[in-house]
A and B are shown apart, each in its own frame.
Chain A
């Protein structure tokens, strides 16, 4: 027995507790002095003399005691630690040997565990970056606050973060809690270069102190200084994003001092931002420009003192001594001054400023939808881990049962219970360790993919090996070990010596398997929960995707070009659109082309007056009616069906015509009981009657979901359209949009050497960002659901296989007594189906309760959709049948004679 190792015994007999060490030192010194005293007495000294001399010879007894104790304590501590390490290594190597006896099960179990751990690590990485971590490279992020405005509209609190530039100026002048206040715009696409080679770059306008406030250091050159950003005309200097610098200049340091052309204006490159710096919103930014260097072009002259341009996002750095509450109160006073001045119906005297963290997805309203989905998925990955842990526990319980005799022997030999538990936990620990190693591999390979696929708009931190995620994974592994180890340890502890010694390898008592079947039940239940989640989210994704929005999303391209901001005048713009339409029409694969003014789907929106004689003005949800001027064939081009009446004619397009087409929403609001066709309505500045000639299906305007807008369409020749310029071209294609997009862009950019970058995007792509949360939820739920199902099936399989192997004798007897194969299969199937059915019921109930919280992630799907629940039950049932049919069939292969003899 390895416990009877001589050094171990010696140590075990040695004093190791602190008090024992003290006592031994005392005793040793006393013995010495007494022995010397006796010796001296034998030489003829009196007892007193002898004792005094002995002490004198010894030296300072108290000091000696102190120094000896210190040494011995140190040594005893070391020995204790060594002893623990030795036992630990012993347990571990024993666990390794014992587990390697069933390699297939070991591998499968480790793999399932590693998937559970990796899922957690990956989801933690996502949640960590979205919800917990401040933006990269920001110094002292706790002191940097983002300013939000809390306004009340119709009793409903509303939060916003955009404001006008004068608010920044006023806050700087009238608050003392901030050491610095800076503004920035949302990143938006700018034309890089002009003409044929024009490209698009994502540009963020920032105030001159923005980088200084964040405390970011440039990786090359310099950042903006306040002198770059002088109101109203700043220096034409630019800072490149790291990725853009790599991509456009191949990381050449010579890029400094070179110039780039943005929106037709030339800027000198003065610096490069550090790698992975993506501002505060974690969106990819290619170039930063000082606000004042571009504001005239982007916002119009007088931008710095107008209250009309709502673009500025404001951040402030608190002075270390200032409290956020005091700062918010101060800022609110300033803001209320503006509220009084604006005197609009969206704000009142309770409007206030709220300071919020700069962690990107946290806002005063709570967390964003994407973050909420990731939190859900974090929870889901915990469930996957639990299912995997149940597998490990199952494997270990089986091992413990097989070893009952051995455990009993050890207990008979006096091994402590604590030691026994440690031994059993060592196996769980080893599995958890192997599992987390594999998980680390999966994580390295998959985490970036998951991040990019699921949340493509987020500029993720670039470092792959992340200490926080690593620590989290470690924690998860330990948790897994404890979870998986506790059941087998209890099982091992409950082993009775007498019983264990008597037991043969055969497992007789049925009660022994109860714990394992309970685990199978739990796995089945959790799998059902995930499958239901997957079913619900997939179903709502399908509903969202297949929603009728009045546009053939995969067939229609939206073409926009910022011509006015590039200095093109009205006649030139009309000419570009006219010639552009002709050219684009020639491209093979293009079937229809139309041009829209004023309001363009997923583009601009414009509302002007609309009235119907005899009908009071309607307050329509979503505002409006919006107005749009479209060429004939516009509806055919985008695929919006006319539900009544007719389209505009080419004739009406050219010669002044007072005709209108309204969408269903307008029709319902103004003519709820009759057909609007042939009715009179007044459009825009026009005072005469126009005739409604058609009613069209509602067309997607801003958002895919529950966001229909009332829109009135007129031909471009309608007097009410005035001198509205074309805002976008709609192109319908027959072939693959991907191949046609560059052709359209090339044709249009070739129209003039000073053409800006032409943005051509299919509507499917324009709405993709809106689909993202749904897609994210559906993909991940489905993925995790399948993983959970497989893991649970593996668990069921291993339990059934074990159960059958333990019943070999019994099955042999039954078959010898004339039982048919079918009877035996039924016996096995009955055994597994009991646990699975119970799991199904339990899981169904849990899912019913839990899905209530999923409701706000669902779209037109009931959280209690019976199809989904039925489907989940069916899928799990099928998996259970597959998992138990193999062991069941194997059981019938038992040769009765052999099975009975094996006893």
Chain B
């Protein structure tokens, strides 16, 4: 395993999953693949954790699932955002962005001081 793979901050996985589903219904495998590829393998998500997140989101009514046919005609469980999920995604994205900006500011400031 690579040492520079990032482990996920708490709650971030939920956000990533919601984000992934923003473009439409996907099954779990597709979500895992998308996260892996989009982050250039930088973010390591154990599949078990991903499914746990999905099912919890479903329990909290942020996503709902339905069985459908996959690209190669196999039965797969598709997840899609609910209205509530969409709202949550928006709120969390804003929160996350503000948070990251704030962290960057601090990192930047201390960097300048040391320099």
Whether A63 lies near B77 (C-beta < 8 A) is no
Task: List 25 contacting pairs A-B, 8 Å CB cutoff, sorted by A.
Answer: A10-B66, A27-B75, A27-B77, A28-B28, A31-B27, A31-B29, A31-B70, A31-B76, A32-B29, A34-B74, A35-B74, A36-B32, A36-B47, A57-B46, A58-B46, A59-B49, A63-B48, A64-B47, A64-B51, A67-B52, A68-B52, A71-B52, A71-B56, A71-B59, A74-B59
Residue B93 interfacial (CB < 8 Å): no
Q: A71-B56, A75-B58 are in contact. Are A35 and B70 (CB under 8 A)?
A: yes
| B residues in contact with A59, CB < 8 Å | 46-49
| B residues in contact with A27, CB < 8 Å | 75, 77
With both beta carbons as reference points, the residue of chain B lying nearest to A28 in the complex is identified as B77
Residue A860 interfacial (CB < 8 Å): no
Residue B86 interfacial (CB < 8 Å): no
Q: Which of B67-96 contact A (CB under 8 A)?
A: 67, 70, 74-77
Residue A575 interfacial (CB < 8 Å): no
Q: A24-B77, A31-B75, A32-B29 are in contact. Are A71 and B46 (CB under 8 A)?
A: no
8 cross-chain pairs, A with B, having the tightest CB-CB distances, nearest first: A59-B48, A64-B48, A58-B47, A59-B46, A35-B29, A71-B55, A75-B59, A28-B77
Q: How far is the CA of A236 from the CA of B49 in the complex (A)?
A: 81
With both beta carbons as reference points, the residue of chain A lying nearest to B64 in the complex is identified as A10
Q: Which of B20-57 contact A (CB under 8 A)?
A: 27-29, 32-33, 46-49, 51-52, 55-56
Could you tell me how many residues of chain A have their Cβ less than 8 Å away from some Cβ of chain B? Answer: 25
| A residues in contact with B29, CB < 8 Å | 31-32, 35-36
Residue in B48, B59, B77 whose beta carbon sits within 8 Å of that of A58 in the complex: B48
| A residues in contact with B66, CB < 8 Å | 10, 14
Residue A786 interfacial (CB < 8 Å): no
Looking at the assembled complex, report how far the CB atom of A412 sits from the nearest CB atom of chain B, in whole angstroms. 29
Residue A252 interfacial (CB < 8 Å): no
Q: How big is the B interface, by class? A: 20 to 34
Q: Which of A32-48 contact B (CB under 8 A)?
A: 32, 34-36, 39
- Could you list 7 further interchain pairs (A-B, Cβ under 8 angstroms) beyond the known A14-B66, A63-B48? A28-B77, A32-B47, A35-B74, A39-B33, A57-B46, A58-B46, A68-B55
| A residues in contact with B67, CB < 8 Å | 24
Please encode chain A, from 55 to 83, with 1 for each CB lying within 8 Å of some chain B CB and 0 for all others.
00111110110011001101100000000
Please encode chain A, from 567 to 584, with 1 for each CB lying within 8 Å of some chain B CB and 0 for all others.
000000000000000000
Q: How far is the CA of A31 from the CA of B68 in the complex (A)?
A: 12
| B residues in contact with A67, CB < 8 Å | 52, 55
With both beta carbons as reference points, the residue of chain B lying nearest to A72 in the complex is identified as B55
Whether A64 lies near B52 (C-beta < 8 A) is yes
Interface of A is mostly: helix
Of listed B27, B47, B58, B70, residue having the most chain A CB within 10 A: B47
Q: How far is the CA of A14 from the CA of B48 in the complex (A)?
A: 23
Q: How far is the CA of A61 from the CA of B47 in the complex (A)?
A: 10
Looking at the assembled complex, report how far the CB atom of B68 sits from the nearest CB atom of chain A, in whole angstroms. 11
Q: Which residues of A contact B (CB under 8 A)?
A: 10, 14, 24, 27-29, 31-32, 34-36, 39, 57-61, 63-64, 67-68, 71-72, 74-75
Looking at the assembled complex, report how far the CB atom of A524 sits from the nearest CB atom of chain B, in whole angstroms. 57
Looking at the assembled complex, report how far the CB atom of A486 sits from the nearest CB atom of chain B, in whole angstroms. 39
Whether A31 lies near B59 (C-beta < 8 A) is no
Looking at the assembled complex, report how far the CB atom of B55 sits from the nearest CB atom of chain A, in whole angstroms. 4
| A residues in contact with B33, CB < 8 Å | 39
Residue in A34, A35, A36, A60 whose beta carbon sits within 8 Å of that of B48 in the complex: A60
With both beta carbons as reference points, the residue of chain B lying nearest to A13 in the complex is identified as B66
| B residues in contact with A58, CB < 8 Å | 46-48
Looking at the assembled complex, report how far the CB atom of B23 sits from the nearest CB atom of chain A, in whole angstroms. 19
Q: How far is the CA of A24 from the CA of B70 in the complex (A)?
A: 15
| A residues in contact with B28, CB < 8 Å | 28, 31-32
With both beta carbons as reference points, the residue of chain B lying nearest to A38 in the complex is identified as B72
Looking at the assembled complex, report how far the CB atom of A22 sits from the nearest CB atom of chain B, in whole angstroms. 13
Q: A36-B29, A59-B46 are in contact. Are A28 and B51 (CB under 8 A)?
A: yes
Looking at the assembled complex, report how far the CB atom of B106 sits from the nearest CB atom of chain A, in whole angstroms. 34
Q: How far is the CA of A29 from the CA of B77 in the complex (A)?
A: 10
Q: How far is the CA of A752 from the CA of B70 in the complex (A)?
A: 111
Q: How far is the CA of A233 from the CA of B91 in the complex (A)?
A: 86
Looking at the assembled complex, report how far the CB atom of B56 sits from the nearest CB atom of chain A, in whole angstroms. 6
With both beta carbons as reference points, the residue of chain B lying nearest to A70 in the complex is identified as B55
With both beta carbons as reference points, the residue of chain B lying nearest to A67 in the complex is identified as B52
Looking at the assembled complex, report how far the CB atom of B8 sits from the nearest CB atom of chain A, in whole angstroms. 14
Looking at the assembled complex, report how far the CB atom of A77 sits from the nearest CB atom of chain B, in whole angstroms. 11
Looking at the assembled complex, report how far the CB atom of A79 sits from the nearest CB atom of chain B, in whole angstroms. 10
Residue in A39, A57, A71 whose beta carbon sits within 8 Å of that of B47 in the complex: A57
Q: How far is the CA of A27 from the CA of B48 in the complex (A)?
A: 14
Q: How far is the CA of A219 from the CA of B23 in the complex (A)?
A: 72
| B residues in contact with A64, CB < 8 Å | 47-48, 51-52
Whether A32 lies near B56 (C-beta < 8 A) is no
| A residues in contact with B58, CB < 8 Å | 71-72, 75
With both beta carbons as reference points, the residue of chain A lying nearest to B61 in the complex is identified as A75
| A residues in contact with B74, CB < 8 Å | 31, 34-35
Q: How far is the CA of A71 from the CA of B58 in the complex (A)?
A: 9
Looking at the assembled complex, report how far the CB atom of B42 sits from the nearest CB atom of chain A, in whole angstroms. 16
With both beta carbons as reference points, the residue of chain A lying nearest to B48 in the complex is identified as A59
| B residues in contact with A10, CB < 8 Å | 64, 66
Q: How far is the CA of A215 from the CA of B49 in the complex (A)?
A: 61
| B residues in contact with A60, CB < 8 Å | 48
| B residues in contact with A28, CB < 8 Å | 28, 51, 76-77
Q: How far is the CA of A31 from the CA of B67 in the complex (A)?
A: 12
| B residues in contact with A29, CB < 8 Å | 51
Residue in A32, A63, A72 whose beta carbon sits within 8 Å of that of B32 in the complex: A32
With both beta carbons as reference points, the residue of chain B lying nearest to A33 in the complex is identified as B47
Looking at the assembled complex, report how far the CB atom of A407 sits from the nearest CB atom of chain B, in whole angstroms. 34
Whether B77 lies near A31 (C-beta < 8 A) is yes
| B residues in contact with A74, CB < 8 Å | 59
Q: How far is the CA of A10 from the CA of B78 in the complex (A)?
A: 14
Looking at the assembled complex, report how far the CB atom of A43 sits from the nearest CB atom of chain B, in whole angstroms. 12
Looking at the assembled complex, report how far the CB atom of A360 sits from the nearest CB atom of chain B, in whole angstroms. 56
Q: How far is the CA of A75 from the CA of B66 in the complex (A)?
A: 14
Looking at the assembled complex, report how far the CB atom of A487 sits from the nearest CB atom of chain B, in whole angstroms. 42
With both beta carbons as reference points, the residue of chain B lying nearest to A24 in the complex is identified as B77
